[in-house]
Amino acid sequence: MNLLPVTKAQSVTRRHFFGECGYGFGKLALAGLLTNTFGKTQGTHFAPKAKRVIHLMQAGAPSQLELFDNKPKLKELEGKPLPPSVIGDQRYAFIQRDAAVLGPRFPFAKHGQSGAELSDKLPHLAKVIDEVAIIKSMHSDQFNHAPGQIFFNTGFAQPGRPSLGSWLSYGLGSASDNLPAFVVMSTGGGISGGSALWSSGFMPGKHAGVRFRNSGDPILNVSSPTGVDKKLQRDSLDLIAKLNRRRLEMEKDPEIATRIESYEMAFRLQSSAPELMDLKSENAATLKLYGADPVKPSYGRACLLARRMVERGVRYVNIIHSGWDAHSNVAGNVTNNAKATDQGSAALIRDLKERGMLEDTLVIWGGEFGRTPMVESNPTLNRKQGRDHHPQAFSLWMAGGGVKGGMSLGATDELGFHITERPVHIHDLQATILHLLGLDHERLTFRHGGRDYRLTDVHGKVVKEILT
């Protein structure tokens, strides 16, 4: 075999080679990129109930036993270890298998026509509880925060897979010309899972979440520097786009097309983002409803911004509120975080309903797993009266977007340790979210590395009981 030297004209990039061989996007998808189909809605598999999603991610794992899943039996057993038969072979990160039981820290009461039981730390949610479906039988494969958060958002425990918002951007496209399809905001402390929670993984970068800040410039490095007017900015972008298109024709690299569109989106965001983030147009009653200051960062302000985003066509908004990791003083942790989030979360439901948007906007509230019925007390780590990680059973709620309000699904045993009725896995939840948006989780696939991937991998069943 004669191997001829490769000339510069014959050289191809690795991505071009894989594209020509059918790897990744392949020729059809590349043709779509070259014809600039960014932002076009790609269609659904069937009629959707929801058009958009607001995901209120409570990172750190809220204690379901202090909020949604009342277990009086724990109060009776407080201070005693659980029977070994209950714990089985379960291992824990920070407590021993014979750790004592810790009873609920707060009283519960029934609310609404549904009679749903809620902790007294959720007075605002109690007022809209008949719009909400509580799932008390969630379970996860992951035991620690970073993999748990990544798993919840991407269906896989390690970084590198597309996030839920990216799947929706890929499957449905954008409904806005001036804002991204997928926006991320954060409140509270740091995020254990990091940017993997909104990464596009092996999909093109245009499907990744765009991080909006809660104060100052909405997006870093978007504002023009001093002395650069709009015409100069436009002329510069046109020249850069021309050079990028020439490079794209040579290399056939889809990421160059993504770069072209990202520059254009950034230019449009210079006008649309400041208008979006300016809450001066909101009346005093709305600001009071959310408990939001027009300027001061807060969870309530982020929820109000989320409503404004979905009004303007953003497909998926993810608000990540960190700080629920209650290894010590679970009572104080829940009190502080519920105070920070309850009003804004409930206000979002009320506001969307009053505007006629709740019926096609899906709102999701929950963490990556739950907390143990047993107490965590460790003098060495200065911890007491806390709860450890518990992936076997936890609670979350959903509202709007085709979800039945005023219902609870699933149950746990009298200790809150094991699920006894209608288990719902993270993959089941993901399948249900896609279903509500008109997407079949088994048919929404992306080809990468020679095989088709999907959000739910080879798992997941739609939770039909909560659908309207």
d(C-alpha 173, C-alpha 145), whole Å = 30
d(C-alpha 26, C-alpha 30), whole Å = 6
Phi, psi of 4 (to 5 degrees): -80, 145
Residue spans of the chain under pLDDT 50? 1-41
Give Cα 182 distance to the centre of its chain: 10
Q: Taking a C-beta distance cutoff of 8 angstroms, is the pair 413, 148 a contact?
A: no
Q: Taking a C-beta distance cutoff of 8 angstroms, is the pair 210, 162 a contact?
A: no
- The residue count for the chain: 468
Q: Give pLDDT, residue 262.
A: 67
Q: Give pLDDT, residue 331.
A: 98
Q: Give pLDDT, residue 248.
A: 78
Give Cα 343 distance to the centre of its chain: 19
Burial of 113 from C-beta contacts in 10 A (0-12 / 13-18 / 19+): exposed
Q: Residues with Cβ < 8 Å from 404, sequence gap 6 or more?
A: 133, 465, 466, 467, 468
d(C-alpha 364, C-alpha 349), whole Å = 11
Give the model confidence (pLDDT) of 344-372 as tens digits: 999 999 999 999 999 999 999 999 999 99
Q: Taking a C-beta distance cutoff of 8 angstroms, is the pair 288, 50 a contact?
A: no
Q: Give pLDDT, residue 249.
A: 81
Q: Residues with Cβ < 8 Å from 156, sequence gap 6 or more?
A: 150, 457
Domains with residue ranges and CATH for the chain: 14-466 (3.40.720.10)
Estimate the share of the chain in helix, then strand, then coil, as percent rounded to the nearest 5.
Answer: 40, 20, 45
| pTM of the entire predicted model | 0.85
Q: Residues with Cβ < 8 Å from 249, sequence gap 6 or more?
A: none
Burial of 238 from C-beta contacts in 10 A (0-12 / 13-18 / 19+): exposed
Q: Does residue 331 come out as left (phi exceeding 0), alpha (psi in the -120 to 50 range) or beta?
A: alpha
d(C-alpha 304, C-alpha 362), whole Å = 15
Q: Taking a C-beta distance cutoff of 8 angstroms, is the pair 45, 440 a contact?
A: yes
Amino acid sitting at position 415: L
Q: Give pLDDT, residue 266.
A: 62
Q: How many helices (H) and strands (E) does the chain have?
A: 13, 17
Q: Give pLDDT, residue 345.
A: 98
Give the model confidence (pLDDT) of 63-92 as tens digits: 999 999 999 999 999 999 988 888 888 878
DSSP labels, 224-267? PPTT--HHHHHHHHHHHHHHHHHHHHHH--HHHHHHHHHHHHHH
Tokens in use for 413?
A: 């045993």
Q: Taking a C-beta distance cutoff of 8 angstroms, is the pair 112, 126 a contact?
A: yes
Task: Count other C-beta atoms under 10 Å from residue 83's C-beta.
Answer: 9
Buried b (16+ CB within 10 A) or exposed e, 20-54: eeeebbeeebbebbeeeebbeeeebbeebbbbbbb
Q: Give pLDDT, residue 15.
A: 44
Q: Give pLDDT, residue 14.
A: 44
d(C-alpha 40, C-alpha 27), whole Å = 19
DSSP labels, 331-399? HHHHHHHHHHHHHHHHHHHHHHHHTT-GGGEEEEEE-SSEEEEEEEEEGGGTEEEEEEEETTSEEEEEE
Q: Taking a C-beta distance cutoff of 8 angstroms, is the pair 336, 53 a contact?
A: no
Phi, psi of 221 (to 5 degrees): 65, 25
